[in-house]
Chains A and B, each alone.
Chain A
């Protein structure tokens, strides 16, 4: 049994103007201790997918259309809220994009960590531990992500910390329940470049040390390539290609994945001019029929406009959803 198994997951957002078909038949799985990167443009549904694992998308407007998300064999989509609370932070933890807005500005770091630890323990029906024990655990967590003076940090408020420190605090909070899966949603996007590398190294270290499974969401291929063994490329709510990172970078099969990689500038070879992908992402209220990439694809034929391509395994562990991809 996989740690995480997403099957034919479809999610829609009911808005005032109409229904957005945000995720359209996602199939992905993740083994314990495995690292998976998810790349795609802004608006391709990768963050929505990440939040689905903990059912954090507010319903309404979000509505599950079909499919299942099995985590350790349990379908997250049909768990009652009470059971969901046993997962949140405890089995699946999440790190977010912008550490400024994801920390409560009015509560001390210590209070926020304490509340997370207490909430997780009460969801498991554990008896209430004394405050000092919880504070000690929180300080230990802060120290484990390389933050100095954890005691003083517990008493400080988010606005007193730098962006990098805040992201470390959020990572420490995510580790509080000793989760099996860490979902990192663009964890470095809002940070300075130098801090980005530190945070990525921290996450990679924790994954190795604790044997965590990692789902890293990013629009930056470089970030994913550096920290994940496997990559899934998403386009407009579908997974178009999934492969070991090296295989995908060396030999992308899907036209969209090829376009993404061609768009990355090559610093060692200045003669290489990065190329963009013509067109823009489709309106998800009226997505293209068949393959959602067909209006922008140079290879598109009639079948691309009528039939949705399924993920096919073209090489070992290398799956592509394209009618024209050859083994």
Chain B
């Protein structure tokens, strides 16, 4: 059975997938001045803050110790255990050797605690009492190898004491071996004391021996003791290397300052060697060499300034903060310590991985992720002259394409950005790519994985067909699918069965990254979907009876008109800010409080918006144009027959198959009812903005690329909103311009406009009669072979005046 400990809120396994379990050491008056000050001032909230702070910095369990001269341990412990157990998610390690204190606080703790600690200092009297308590309250126990003779210094002595304690705790008191965490004690190798030169070796050796002779037990270690007396910056490195060595031998938990544990990969070879020489006592001069080597490293506790940070850490910070300042100098300094390729693989890629994890936890927003990716990209570009091109061999490679008939590339390009900047080789072969080309390229480039993207409903259907074609052509790569119209269910039921290799639905670029990692680990599995009782709602008007006596409005003219002079600035008044900031740009509220989100909006989002707005207007990136028209029409079942100078154009609309059975044609009167008026529009903000976004993408300005693209899409919608309002005013359905755009978002106006390709009329083929009526080619808007409009930042609609007309889905 797995050994876990728990708080009121969560259980934590002692044996983590990636050991060690980090136990935060700072809630201890003997180790942390901040905690001591708070304790002596009885500032309980301050004590708690130190705990929460460690949680935020990566601790998984919190050690809590209040034993301090002049304080009442029992009373302080009672107060703090109550406070911590309600306010802190992490399980507690109750750090007391007093059976009385433990007997009082264990019943208060609403989880499974770890007791720290038992030993044989008094011959075993306290050990008996504490083991009984541990058994009674189901706690795990830390056991220190101390006897009446004192602390065990040699590996043999540590093993002997551990065996003695094991005998008592397991055989006599019935504790489970996995619930005993042996602390085999460690002492500094930094004092120069000749008798302690092999202190690290003795501890490491003891871990090895106890693992062999007392199978199943766990370990913990106060790691930072190893470096006592050395300088802070050097300690951090030495502690981390020692921890790495101990974990390799079986250490499963460690008592540390979680914020100061360095990833082993981020420690340079030179630094590692100096540490290992000292730890393994490899030569007489090891300590002097170590001190000399780390002479330059200075660090002020907790308030390190950039200059004082190790250069490796500085690079990590640059990536995490998306900060490109001084990158060139920093990298040239790092090149003196690392091979360029190792800078990429050991420093940059892990930092990007961290960025992805933060995004996954909702702690980093998409725009900041893109800024981090820019730092990564630029760093690689700066390193490339000094290394062989990133060797393609051994790197997982991915082919990316937007499927045939679909011009949308923002989603695919985001995947490209994220994968490339996580060290993968990406072949991005563009938009509107037919299956035949994808197959040929996948074979030619021998990629490991194929990724398909597409925004349209039609693209989803096409992916299903593509799977069958891939199968027939004998492709062997797993396929990742992404796109707005896809769902897990569709992929699992319609795509997976058509292809023998895994077909995997990816909701966003990070799901794609996760899938690639699973592929590398040999764990990539096809998307599955289980029919649940969960039925997605289909929102829409619930009424069934349409008012038939509605008189058609007066229209200002019949036929089409083109408008080419529109002030671009007007569009900004019609922008849907929520959709732009939160949706397109990714400035989600996430875990922020309202005040924090307001601050983010005021300090980051609005200034960004102002910058792009001013740039777009000054540089002439916006060229709004409209073609629109009013026409006589009659409805006939699902068809709308539109009269245009003697000809009739037929628009066929789908009908809901279930109640209330709505169809757009129903909102118009039949010939018998006297006929009706219908209007249409096609609007575009032109091709210049699309050109600009393309330039940004090609110059690796990922952040501005996503931002400007999002702004363009929303400005296109703003133009549609603006023009729809103008048409309602022209038809006398509305008196004047509104100032409340928020109300427009929720269709706070008479009638409705339905976009072709959207849920009320998903079929893009209606663009054919529409283009015959309006001739949007004259404002520069054309159709692709699959009836999609180009440029991308164009939109179309049928405008319905019937008051009951609102959005619905067929």
Binding between chains A and B: no
